């Protein structure tokens, strides 16, 4: 059975792309000019979802670990950084073009027999020789009259290097002792040869990276520990765990500096694809930055007779925008429902974990009239300090629930005539569609409790 046939979810890329646009999660960049390839804009629901995924990861890495601190380094770095890191020389993809249909491919992403026979996998035409293509975006800094090579600067292709060049600063300013980590979320840019599958592979994207510095000899243990922790993170986020698997880099994939590397792959509608990398980067990065900067980046181990050594680095590197695509695919569900008497009514629902849902609670008055709208606004005002809220008073209540289901809102609060009489409200749960009544004054504490106890069941 092919990998695609084992896909269990209701999501297809067409459905996800169209829902993302229709509901304002993601728009094509510069759409009115025909769109910009490899770039996407995050709309009102998308930016909330992205921020929440980022906050959730940040909390997991920094708030929950004493020994991990944060950093926000600049996108523009000294060009020597990229010589030291090996990107100028090695950050290349093998590129081939079809002479007949003009399609462009990464030679490592098409069947090897096509490359050896030099035949296009799409039209059978002749392929060009494989050539190396550097993925870094190159630009110039300062006033440049001609194409002055002296003023070349790159947009960073990964956030990790900003961490390595600040490693010594952070040890000194924060008195860090091994093992310790530095976490960073930020934009990265790669001139990708093929950008397809919506926001999966783009030229401008965001990464969530954490570099963990450890004593040589303890790296294998820490590598295994971080594999465990990253797996547990997705479990906590309520991701379908049978849609995740480990892929160990074989000898042909392993970067020359890496001692060991595993990817966490997710079963996207288009197949198993990398979501995050967990890598044992050995002493490579700090050794190279020592050589290229001339600065001594050895750690002085006060707990071990002031021995000096270059730490090993364990890296966890996830794409933020790719994780957003994963959560859309993972959360997407279609369900036949029979409430309100409509037998074959079907709803599309995003079953986001409440901690990342763009809207946590929507407040809906049953009717606009008779003071219900004012009452609902009043209740919303009470909730909005603590929760991301939405308010919707237009149309049939069933249709309003569907709209919130499709936006992934885990809770709806409905205000009706009984609310006016006795102050009770209806709390409706997205996943089960169950409804309970409770006093208005208990709403906030109940929501906190529900968010904390949330377990995905469907």
What sign has the CA pseudo-torsion 23, 25, 28, 29? positive
Least distance (Å) from ligand ATP to the CB of residue 204? 8
Least distance (Å) from ligand ATP to the CB of residue 100? 26
Binders in 145-164 for ligand ATP, by CB under 6 A: 158
Residue placing its CB nearer to ligand ATP in the complex, 108 or 339: 108
The first and second tokens of residue 251, run together, are 């000898």
Query: Among residues 277, 358, 365, 410, which is the contact residue for ligand ATP, using CB under 6 A?
Result: 277
Residue placing its CB nearer to ligand ATP in the complex, 263 or 405: 263
CA distance 239 to 324: 12
Query: Among residues 75, 92, 151, 274, which is the contact residue for ligand ATP, using CB under 6 A?
Result: 274
Residue placing its CB nearer to ligand ATP in the complex, 179 or 186: 186
Helix (H) / strand (E) containing 84: helix 80-84
Least distance (Å) from ligand ATP to the CB of residue 327? 13
Least distance (Å) from ligand ATP to the CB of residue 439? 45
Q: Which stretch binds ligand ATP (CB under 6 A): 95-103, 219-227, 269-277, 370-378?
A: 269-277
Residue placing its CB nearer to ligand ATP in the complex, 135 or 451: 135
Binders in 284-343 for ligand ATP, by CB under 6 A: 317-319, 321-322
CA distance 187 to 177: 28
Least distance (Å) from ligand ATP to the CB of residue 321? 5
Q: In the 8-state DSSP scheme, what is residue 251?
A: T
Structural contact between residues 15 and 350, judged by C-beta atoms closer than 8 angstroms = no
Least distance (Å) from ligand ATP to the CB of residue 354? 24
Structural contact between residues 189 and 155, judged by C-beta atoms closer than 8 angstroms = yes
CA distance 125 to 99: 7
Please tell me the total number of residues recorded for the chain in this structure. 458
Residue placing its CB nearer to ligand ATP in the complex, 214 or 275: 275
Residue placing its CB nearer to ligand ATP in the complex, 274 or 382: 274
Q: Is 323 helix (H, G, I), strand (E, B) or coil?
A: helix
Q: What are phi and psi of 435, to 5 degrees?
A: -130, 140
Residue placing its CB nearer to ligand ATP in the complex, 315 or 390: 315
Residue placing its CB nearer to ligand ATP in the complex, 71 or 160: 160
Q: What's the chain's Rg over C-alpha atoms?
A: 25
Least distance (Å) from ligand ATP to the CB of residue 198? 10
CA distance 28 to 47: 14
CA distance 417 to 373: 11
Q: Which stretch binds ligand ATP (CB under 6 A): 124-132, 201-209, 306-314, 343-351?
A: 201-209
Residue placing its CB nearer to ligand ATP in the complex, 153 or 258: 258
Least distance (Å) from ligand ATP to the CB of residue 216? 23
CA distance 83 to 330: 39
By CB under 6 A, residue 275 contacts ligand ATP: yes
The first and second tokens of residue 84, run together, are 């030291």
Residue placing its CB nearer to ligand ATP in the complex, 50 or 190: 190
Query: Among residues 17, 184, 207, 316, which is the contact residue for ligand ATP, using CB under 6 A?
Result: 207
Give me the residue label for tokens 């290229």: 292
Beta strands per DSSP E along 339-388: 345-350, 361-365
Compute how many residues bind ligand ATP; rule: CB under 6 A.
16
Q: Is the peptide bond before 179 cis (omega within 30 degrees of 0)?
A: yes
Residue placing its CB nearer to ligand ATP in the complex, 57 or 387: 57
Q: At what angle do helices 320-331 and 13-22 cross, to 10 degrees?
A: 100
Least distance (Å) from ligand ATP to the CB of residue 231? 15
Q: Cα separations (Å) of 135 from 106, 149, 173, 325, 442? A: 12, 18, 34, 22, 54
Least distance (Å) from ligand ATP to the CB of residue 277? 4
Least distance (Å) from ligand ATP to the CB of residue 107? 13
Query: Among residues 205, 299, 312, 411, which is the contact residue for ligand ATP, using CB under 6 A?
Result: 205
CA distance 151 to 93: 25
| Residues 6 or more apart in contact with residue 20 via CB below 8 angstroms | 26, 46, 198, 328
Chain-centroid distance, C-alpha 212 = 20
Query: Among residues 60, 260, 276, 330, which is the contact residue for ligand ATP, using CB under 6 A?
Result: 276
Binding residues (CB under 6 A) for ligand ATP: these are: 158, 190, 192, 201-202, 205, 207, 274-277, 317-319, 321-322
């Amino acid at each position: 059975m092919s990998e695609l046939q084992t896909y269990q979810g209701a999501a297809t890329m067409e459905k996800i792309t169209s829902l993302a646009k229709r509901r304002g999660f993601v728009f094509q960049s510069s759409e009115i000019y025909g769109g910009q390839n490899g770039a996407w804009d995050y709309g009102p629901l998308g930016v909330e979802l992205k921020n929440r995924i980022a906050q959730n990861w940040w909390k997991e890495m920094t708030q929950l670990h004493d020994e991990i601190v944060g950093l926000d380094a600049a996108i523009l770095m000294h060009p020597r950084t990229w010589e030291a890191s090996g990107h100028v020389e090695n950050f290349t993809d093998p590129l081939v073009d079809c002479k007949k249909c003009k399609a462009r491919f990464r030679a490592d992403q098409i069947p090897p027999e096509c490359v050896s026979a030099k035949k296009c996998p799409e039209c059978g035409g002749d392929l060009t020789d494989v050539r190396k293509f550097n993925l870094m975006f190159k630009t110039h800094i300062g006033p440049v009259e001609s194409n002055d090579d002296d003023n070349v600067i790159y947009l960073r292709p990964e956030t990790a290097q900003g961490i390595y060049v600040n490693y010594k600063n952070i040890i000194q300013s924060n008195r860090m002792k091994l093992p310790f980590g530095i976490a960073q979320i930020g934009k990265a840019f790669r001139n990708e040869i093929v950008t397809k599958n919506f926001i999966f592979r783009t030229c401008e994207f965001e990464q969530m990276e954490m570099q963990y510095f450890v004593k040589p000899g303890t790296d294998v243990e820490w590598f295994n520990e971080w594999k465990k922790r990253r797996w547990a993170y997705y479990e906590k986020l309520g991701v379908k765990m049978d849609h995740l698997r480990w892929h160990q880099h074989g000898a042909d994939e392993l970067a020359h500096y890496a001692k060991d590397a595993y990817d966490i792959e997710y079963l996207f509608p288009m197949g198993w694809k990398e979501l995050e990398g967990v890598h044992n980067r050995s002493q490579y990065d700090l050794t190279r930055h020592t050589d290229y900067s001339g600065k001594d980046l050895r750690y002085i181990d006060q707990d071990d007779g002031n021995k000096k050594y270059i730490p090993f680095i364990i890296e966890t590197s996830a794409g933020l925008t790719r994780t957003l695509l994963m959560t859309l695919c993972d959360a997407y569900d279609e369900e036949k429902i029979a409430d309100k008497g409509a037998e074959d009514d079907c709803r599309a629902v995003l079953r986001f974990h409440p901690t990342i849902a763009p809207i946590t609670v929507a407040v809906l008055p049953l009717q606009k009239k008779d003071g219900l709208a004012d009452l609902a606004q009043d209740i919303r005002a009470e909730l909005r300090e603590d929760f991301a809220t939405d308010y919707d008073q237009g149309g049939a209540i069933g249709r309003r629930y569907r709209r919130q289901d499709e936006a992934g809102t885990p809770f709806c609060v409905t205000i009706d005539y009984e609310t006016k009489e006795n102050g009770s409200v209806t709390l409706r749960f997205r996943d089960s569609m169950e409804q309970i009544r409770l006093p208005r004054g208990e709403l906030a504490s109940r929501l906190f409790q529900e968010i904390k106890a949330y377990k995905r069941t469907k």
